[in-house]
Structure 1
Amino acid sequence: MSSTHPGTALAQPAPDTLQVFRAWFAAVQPAAREPEAMTLATATAAGALAARVVLLKQVDARGFVFYTNYASAKSRALAANPRAALAFYWRETHQQVRVVGRAERVSREESEEYFRSRPIGSRVGAWASRQSTVVGEGDVQARAEKIEERFGEDVPLPEFWGGWRIVPDEVEFWLGKPSRLHDRVRYMRVEGSPDDAPEWKIERLAP
């Protein structure tokens, strides 16, 4: 795209939805306080719904990547029902992106590369926190101290920790306008197109 201005992106949508997302994401960096924050919605196999905010760490050729404990409630839900929705809302620029797609684990090698880039405290925390379990006062800190004693500065990637990728089947871009006449453009994956080079049907939606 020749311009990253969000209005231009919706006036002349590029054929690749991830290209549009990258343009929007780059454009909001100076204005949005935490542009990488996204709401992740999941459902268990029984249909129990949950939503929480996680941080986008990468947008690759296949989709949107975040990292977490594989024993957490969200990971258990994704393992049982590998469908998810994401929502980004950048209040400062009146923009929103909605994603619906399939969840898959990223490779061990990708998780290892990202884990090694984290500060030492975050690596210790990944080991110390048995995410989503009930804990007593001081339990997590005590485990963190034991991890520090065990590994020192060379904290390895835990087997129970890594990345999830949401491979989009649908992406909607929303740009707020006066009088609620918002711009909305939806990308729908063409059935049968490959995950790493999908084709998209592009539609405009009423506000």
Structure 2
Amino acid sequence: MTNESLTLGETQAGDDPFALFGRWMADATASELNDPNAMALATVDPDGLPNVRMVLLKDVDSSGFVFYTNFESAKGRELLASRRAALCLHWKSLRRQVRVRGPIVEVSEAEADRYYASRPLGSRIGAWASQQSRPLASRAELETRIADVEARFGGEDIPRPPHWSGFRVAPSEIEFWADGAFRLHDRIVFRRSGPDEAWRRERLYP
């Protein structure tokens, strides 16, 4: 990739941030060795202290960015309390980054069921066995819970746990960052006041 292709101009950015994100994600899928859909998810706890962790982007369309989790986990509880989140995707090989902020909504039951059914068997078992974010006395305790879930469901289809589903971040802001020489990066941000409003594009100082 040449330095010229790393720059981000207004013509290249266009007027639709989701279209630009789709192109950048396609580039990342072709170039990143592991998990091009990995993203940092930031939330705040009840005391206002930030929390951040890596999750996987599982779907994106004009309504937002989707990921799945245990709703009883720390991030699940924090998201349900604040109804807001921030995301950051960084592709080191491409020297690009995307930041997203906005309110969150739960995905539909049908969406959650579809994605859950597509997961490997071990991941579906784990969704039942893991009391995510809660204290665990030993690895043996977790393995016992896994065995209990396997015995409970046998060879049957494992249904989606009621506490496991997905969130969609409906962005009010999407910022695209392309690395530049001497830290003179390109930063273009799209903002809108509501999901049915038009996007406003603006260039930021690096």
TM-score (norm 2): 0.91
Show the counterpart of 2:160: 157
Q: Deviations over 1:74-126 (max 9, x none)?
A: 01001111111101111111000011111111111100000000010000000
Give aligned pairs, total: 199
Equivalent position amino acid for 2:154 in 1: G
Whether the 8 Å contact between 1:10 and 1:183 is mirrored in structure 2 is no
Equivalent position amino acid for 2:25 in 1: F
Whether the 8 Å contact between 2:105 and 2:170 is mirrored in structure 1 is yes
Equivalent position amino acid for 2:32 in 1: A
Aligned with 1:168 (options 171, 176, 192):
171
Residue 145 (structure 2) pairs with residue 146 (structure 1): no
Equivalent position amino acid for 1:100 in 2: R
Aligned positions of 1:37-116 closer than 5 A: 37-116=38-117
Tell me, in whole angstroms, the C-alpha distance in 2 between the residues paired with 1:132 and 1:106.
22
Cα deviation, residue 10, structure 1: 5.1
Equivalent position amino acid for 1:17 in 2: P
Whether the 8 Å contact between 2:6 and 2:95 is mirrored in structure 1 is no
Whether the 8 Å contact between 1:9 and 1:20 is mirrored in structure 2 is no
Aligned positions of 1:17-36 closer than 5 A: 17-33=17-33, 34-36=35-37
With over 3 angstroms needed to count, the CA separation of the structure-2 counterparts of 1:179 and 1:8, relative to structure 1, is closer
Tell me the C-alpha RMSD between the 2 structures: 1.6
Cα deviation, residue 152, structure 1: 2.2
Q: Deviations over 1:151-204 (max 9, x none)?
A: 123111000000011110000000002122211100001x2452xxx4100001
Whether the 8 Å contact between 2:172 and 2:194 is mirrored in structure 1 is no
Tell me, in whole angstroms, the C-alpha distance in 2 between the residues paired with 1:47 and 1:128.
30
Whether the 8 Å contact between 1:6 and 1:24 is mirrored in structure 2 is no
Tell me, in whole angstroms, the C-alpha distance in 2 between the residues paired with 1:94 and 1:10.
18
Three-state SS of the structure 2 residue aligned to 1:92 is: coil
Whether the 8 Å contact between 2:172 and 2:195 is mirrored in structure 1 is no
Tell me, in whole angstroms, the C-alpha distance in 2 between the residues paired with 1:193 and 1:71.
28
**Percentage of matched positions with identical amino acids:** 44
Unaligned runs of 5+ in 1: none
With over 3 angstroms needed to count, the CA separation of the structure-2 counterparts of 1:117 and 1:10, relative to structure 1, is farther
Unaligned runs of 5+ in 2: none
With over 3 angstroms needed to count, the CA separation of the structure-2 counterparts of 1:78 and 1:57, relative to structure 1, is same
Show the counterpart of 1:199: 198
Whether the 8 Å contact between 2:174 and 2:189 is mirrored in structure 1 is yes
